[in-house]
Amino acid sequence: MFQLLNTVLIGITAGSIYSLMAIAMVLVWRSTRVVNFAQAGMALLSTYFGYEIIHMSGSYWLALPIAMLAGAAVAAAIELIFMRLLLKHSSQGAIASIAPIIATLGLLGLIKSIIGYFWGNQDVTIDSPFSNVGFTLGSHTLALSPMKLFILLAVVFLTLVLSLIFQKTNLGLALRASAYSPEISRLAGIKVDLVRTFGWSLAGAAGGAAGMLQTANGNGTLSPDSLEFSLLLAFGFIAAVIGGLDSLIGAVLGALLLGLVLAFVLTYVGGSLVFITAFVLLLVVLLIRPGGIISQKAGRRA
C-alpha cells in the first residue's frame, strides 16, 4: 500500500522534471515550427552560468533567475544570428523538413564542445536549496522531498504563467498567429521576426530553469555530456510528442503520463524496461492519436 503511494509520487515528481524540458520544446515549436534539440545545450550552458554565480555569490536564489536570463539571452542570440539565416537559406525543397532538426543537433554539439573547452569534462554539482530528504508520514518516508515539491510547484507556476501569456495577452496571440501563418500575421502588422525571437527566449528561460532545478535535485550533476541532460532531452521530447507538440498543458500531461507509466512498469513489471516502455507508450499514444494527446486537429502538417 505504501509502496503504491510512493510509486505514484515517484511518477509525478519524475514527470514534473520531464515537463520542464517538454515545455521548452513546445515553446520553440509553437513560435518557429522547429524541433529544437539544442534545447539541452542551451539549458546546460545557462546552468553553467548559474553554477558560476553560485560559485561567486553562494546563493542559489540569485543564480536561478540569472541562469534563466542567461538562457533567454542565449536563445535569443541563437534565434537572431542563426535560425533566421537558416530559415532564409533552407526553407525550400526536401531539406526543409530535416534541416532545422539537423541544424539544432549541430548547435547542440557546438555548445557541448564549447562547454567542454571552458569547464572540462568532469562532473560538477550545485547544492540543493532545499532538503532532498523526503517528508515523513507516520513511520514512513515519502518519495517527496522539499526540493521535489519545489520543482513540482515551479512546473505548475511556469505552466500557468506561460498559458496566461499565450491565451490572454496580445503577445500570446501574436506568438500563436505568427507560428500558424507568418504571411498573414505580417499583413496584420505583427512583427513576426521579433515575436519569434521572444518565443525562443521564453524557451531559453524555461530551459535554464529546467537545468538549475534538475542539477540541484537529488544526485543531479553537471557535465558537457551529462547523462541526465541527454536523457532529459530525449524524455522531454518524447513527453512533448505524447502530449501534442502544440500544447503546453499537453506537454505537462504527456510528461506526467510518461513518469507514471514508467514508475509503475519499473516497480511492478520489470526493472530494466525503461527505454522500451517509453517507446511503446509513445507508439501506442500516437497510434490512437497521431497528433498527441491534445491535438487540435488530426493530420497536422509540419
Partner 1 sequence: MHKVKASNLTRLIGFVLLGLVLFFVSNRVDELRVYQGASVAMYVVAISSIILLTGYSGQVSLGHGALLAVGGYGAALVRNEFNAPVWLCFAAAVLLAALWGALLGATAARLSGPYLAGTTLALAVGLPSIANQFKFLGGEQGLIFDIGLPPASLGEFFSQYKWFFWIAALTALIAMWWLQNLLRSRYGRTWRAVRSQSVAAELAGINLARSKILAFTVSAGLAGLAGALLSMSISTVSPGAFPLSLSFALATGAVLSGVTTLGGVIIGAVTLVAIPEVADTLTQSIGASENVIANLPGLMVSGLLIVAVLFVPNGPVEQLKHRQKR
Partner 2 sequence: MIGKNRRKLITASAVIAAGSMLLAAAPAQALEQGITTSSIKLGITIPMTGIASPGYSKIPGAMKAYFDYVNANGGVNGRKITLVVKDDQYIPTLAVAKANELIFKDKVFALIGTLGTASTKAISRSLQLSARGIPSLFVNTGYSGFADKKLYPTSFSILPSYQMEAKVIGKYLDENFAGKKVGLIYQDDDFGVDALNGFKQAGVDFAVKIPYASGSQGVAGVAGTWITKLQAAAPDVVVLFGVSSATAAALGNAYAYKYAPKWILGSVGGDATTLTANKVPAAFLAGSKGLSFAPAPSDSTDPYIAMFMDVNEKYNKNAPFDNNIVAGMTSAFLAVQAIKAAGPNLTRKSLIAAIEKSSATFANPALTPLGFSSTSHVGATGYWIGTYDATGSLKPDGGKYTVYTTDSGTGAVVVSTYKRPAMPAKGLPN
Under the rule (CB under 8 A), what is the footprint of partner 1? 29, 35, 82, 85-86, 89-90, 93-95, 97-99, 101-103, 105-110, 112-114, 116-118, 120-121, 224, 230, 234, 237-238, 240-241, 245, 272-276, 278-279, 282-283, 286-287, 290-292, 299-302
Mark 139-174 as b/e (b = at least 16 C-beta within 10 Å): eeeebbbebbbbbbebbeebbeebeebbeeeeebbb
> Looking at beta carbons only, is 14 or 86 nearer to partner 2?
14
- State in angstroms the smallest separation of the CB of 127 from partner 2: 8
- State in angstroms the smallest separation of the CB of 106 from partner 1: 4
Q: How far apart are CA 268 and CA 291, in angstroms?
A: 30
Using the rule CB under 8 A, is 211 a contact of partner 2? no
Q: Which does 282 bind (CB under 5 to 8 A by kind): partner 2, partner 1, none?
A: partner 1
Mark 113-137 as b/e (b = at least 16 C-beta within 10 Å): eebeeebeeeeeebebbeeeebeee
What does the CA dihedral 18, 24, 25, 26 come to, rounded to 10 degrees? 100
> Looking at beta carbons only, is 41 or 204 nearer to partner 1?
41
> Looking at beta carbons only, is 189 or 271 nearer to partner 1?
271
- Strand extents, DSSP E, the chain: 136-137, 140-141
- State in angstroms the smallest separation of the CB of 114 from partner 1: 7
Nearest in space to 17 (alpha carbons), one of 222, 113, 154, 116:
154
Give the per-residue contact string, 133-162, with partner 2 (x = CB under 8 A; - = no).
Answer: xx-x----x-x-x-----------------
Question: CA quadruple 14, 15, 16, 20: dihedral positive or negative?
Answer: positive
Q: Which does 283 bind (CB under 5 to 8 A by kind): partner 1, partner 2, none?
A: partner 1
Q: Which does 73 bind (CB under 5 to 8 A by kind): partner 2, partner 1, none?
A: none
Q: Of 14-22, 35-43, 89-97, 203-211, which part binds partner 2 (CB under 8 A)? A: 14-22
Q: Which does 163 bind (CB under 5 to 8 A by kind): partner 1, partner 2, none?
A: none
Give, in order, the Cα–Cα distances in Å from 279 to each of 113, 124, 189, 259: 29, 31, 43, 13
What residues contact 198, with CB distance under 8 A and at least 6 apart? 31, 76, 171, 175
Nearest in space to 162 (alpha carbons), one of 246, 249, 40, 77:
249
For binding to partner 2 (CB under 8 A), which residues are involved?
Answer: 3, 6-7, 10-11, 13-15, 17-18, 116, 121-123, 125, 132-134, 136, 141, 143, 145, 214, 217-221, 223-228, 230-232, 235, 259, 262-263, 266-267, 270-275
